[in-house]
């Protein structure tokens, strides 16, 4: 398992399910620019008690622009739309496209592999040669998994390495960050490499003590919490900026403003040297099991020798389900880059891989005007229209690949509280950036009719005014996000009543 082959491969016909020439494709290709209202039926008062879309848009008072489409998921009939062809940033809804791309190129049973390879002879506990930690890009590799690999290495009889300890991260291109426009310290914008650990995040913890603060930087997981030196923190007596970063002496050197710390706390920070991070953690775990390794070196050339330990990830389908649930950016970028490489040519950059996925989406999903700059949606320069997204949702529905791995999203009242047993059910992907809100997926109306929908909103003018020093949540963005989410749910509630039967 883990390799793409005929047994696990999905053909394009299976993946796409419905061809562009079908009724669904034809209906969406001519998506209306104004609302399509159903004809009233006698006695069906509940349906027409719902407010119109124009009323909901006006009441939302959401600055910027909104485009949406809702259609019958089975026939493709467009039921209602506003600005359906308007290209807007899809934010993390991009991950749904990435999931389809990866399933097509890799297959649902694909597994990432991390290996310990002996470039030499292992005899009587001594490896006369080099030990190589070879990454396969696994986005789910964590400290506990490395601990399991160390235990297996010890069980294989290794006690001593006479040669070098090497790390190989060449399975994917080295990428400094997903979106360079993001604040430096946000943990959802890490580096990417062929050897990733803990989603390429390091845990920073602080506690006020007499005369200052005690700080820790560790690679914690459920079982192990080894401290690291590849990422370092210094508390500085200042007000702003809260964090600074520098590449100093081969390590990630952070500073934090003392005024922001309070009594104590913790947070995750991005790792900028993921291969070195994984190597240090592995060395620490190996030492705890009596295996002393020399200082790690980077390996870029071909790797030969027997595999001492093999660690396989979960199936891609399960990885994608978690990615869509938790919206993990690193996972999206890794599976996207890996899918592009499976097409026959390894991408040189994230931009090149996103361009390859865009070409795929145009050819296979009918997203002819799409422009994607990454696989996670973190970059706000990506563009996709609501019509294109709904067309894609309908095309893949019959294959049954996307609906089962989308997240259940509950209906909420005006106070944000979950409404239990609400008749309208949603399986969808959310997307949020500052002054960008998106939601797309499938819903069932009150009588069980299945609908496909996409709602994209953005105030690009206000977003353009944000400066990096404004931090993670610039002033005004929280209220805008709340209004966008409320509009999304009110539109869905309307459709659940208006388009039954």
Give the tens place of pLDDT for each residue, 229-286: 999 999 999 999 999 999 997 899 999 999 999 999 999 999 999 999 999 999 999 9
Give the tens place of pLDDT for each residue, 277-299: 999 999 999 999 999 999 999 99
pTM over 0.85: yes
Same CATH topology for 12-37+44-108+316-498 and 112-313? Answer: no
Nearest-5° angle of CA 55, CA 26, CA 357? 90
Cβ contact 25:391 at 8 Å: yes
Rounded CA-CA distance 160/151 in Å is: 14
Sheet (strand 212-218) strand order = 212-218, 201-209, 264-270
- What is the residue-averaged pLDDT of the chain? 90
Secondary structure of residue 259 in the 3-state scheme: helix
Domain segments of the chain as ranges = 12-37+44-108+316-498, 112-313
Task: Look at the chain and count its residues.
Answer: 501
- How buried is 461 (Cβ within 10 angstroms: 0-12 exposed, 13-18 middle, 19+ buried)? exposed
Cβ contact 455:484 at 8 Å: no
Residue 28: pLDDT band with limits 50, 70, 90? low
Cβ contact 350:374 at 8 Å: yes
Classify domain 12-37+44-108+316-498 at the CATH class level: alpha beta
CATH code matching the domain that covers 112-313, chosen among 3.50.80.20, 1.10.150.120, 3.40.50.300, 3.40.50.410: 3.50.80.20
Rg, Å, the chain Cα set: 25
Give the tens place of pLDDT for each residue, 310-356: 999 999 999 999 999 999 999 999 999 999 999 888 899 999 999 99
* The three-state (H, E, C) secondary structure of 450-501, written as one string: EEEEEEEEECHHHHHCCCHHHCCCCCCHHHHHHHHHHHHHHHHHHHHHHCCC
Contacts of 391 by beta carbon, 8 Å cutoff, 6+ apart: 24, 25, 28, 29, 365, 366, 367
Cβ contact 308:146 at 8 Å: no
Give the tens place of pLDDT for each residue, 33-64: 334 444 434 334 344 446 899 999 999 999 99
């Amino acid at each position: 398992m883990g390799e793409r082959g005929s047994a696990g491969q999905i053909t394009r016909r299976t993946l796409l399910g419905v061809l562009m020439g079908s009724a669904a494709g034809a209906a969406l290709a001519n998506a209306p620019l104004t609302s399509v209202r159903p004809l009233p039926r006698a006695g069906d008062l509940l349906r027409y008690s719902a407010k119109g879309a124009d009323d909901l848009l006006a009441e939302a008072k959401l600055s910027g622009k909104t485009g949406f489409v809702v259609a019958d998921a089975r026939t493709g009939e467009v039921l209602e739309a506003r600005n359906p062809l308007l290209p807007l940033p899809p934010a993390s809804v991009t991950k749904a496209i990435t999931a389809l791309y990866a399933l097509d190129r890799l297959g649902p049973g694909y597994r990432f592999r991390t290996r310990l390879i002996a470039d030499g002879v292992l005899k009587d506990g001594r490896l006369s040669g080099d030990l190589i930690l070879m990454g396969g890009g696994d986005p789910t590799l964590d400290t506990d998994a490395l601990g399991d690999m160390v235990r297996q290495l010890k069980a294989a009889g290794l006690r001593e390495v006479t040669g070098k300890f090497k790390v190989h991260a060449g399975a994917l291109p080295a990428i400094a960050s997903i979106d360079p426009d993001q604040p430096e310290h946000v943990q959802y914008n890490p580096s990417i490499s062929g050897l990733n650990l803990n989603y390429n995040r390091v845990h920073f913890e602080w506690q006020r003590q007499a005369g200052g603060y005690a700080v820790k930087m560790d690679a914690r997981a459920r079982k192990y919490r080894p401290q690291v030196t590849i990422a370092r923190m210094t508390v500085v007596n200042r007000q702003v900026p809260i964090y600074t970063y520098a590449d100093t002496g081969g390590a990630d050197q952070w500073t934090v403003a003392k005024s922001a710390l309070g009594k104590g706390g913790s947070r995750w920070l991005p790792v900028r040297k993921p291969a070195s991070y994984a190597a240090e953690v592995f060395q620490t775990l190996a030492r705890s099991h009596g295996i002393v390794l020399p200082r790690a070196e980077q390996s870029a050339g071909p790797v030969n020798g027997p595999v001492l330990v093999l660690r396989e990830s979960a199936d891609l389908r399960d990885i994608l389900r978690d990615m869509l649930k938790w919206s993990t950016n690193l996972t999206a970028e890794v599976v996207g880059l890996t899918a592009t490489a499976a097409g026959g040519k390894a991408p040189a950059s994230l931009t090149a891989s996103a361009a390859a996925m865009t070409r795929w989406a145009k050819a296979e999903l009918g997203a002819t005007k799409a422009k994607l700059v990454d696989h996670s949606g973190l970059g706000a320069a990506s563009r996709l229209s609501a019509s294109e997204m709904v067309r894609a949702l309908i095309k893949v529905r019959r294959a049954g690949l996307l609906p089962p791995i989308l997240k259940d999203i509950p209906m909420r009242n005006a106070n944000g509280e979950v409404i239990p047993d609400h008749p309208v059910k949603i399986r969808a992907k959310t997307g949020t950036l500052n002054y960008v809100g998106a939601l797309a997926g499938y819903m069932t109306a009150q009588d069980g009719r299945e609908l496909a929908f996409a709602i994209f909103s953005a105030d690009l003018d206000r977003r353009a005014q944000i400066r990096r020093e404004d931090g993670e949540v610039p002033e005004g963005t929280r209220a805008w996000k709340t209004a966008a989410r409320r509009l999304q749910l009110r539109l869905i509630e309307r459709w659940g009543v208006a388009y039954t039967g």
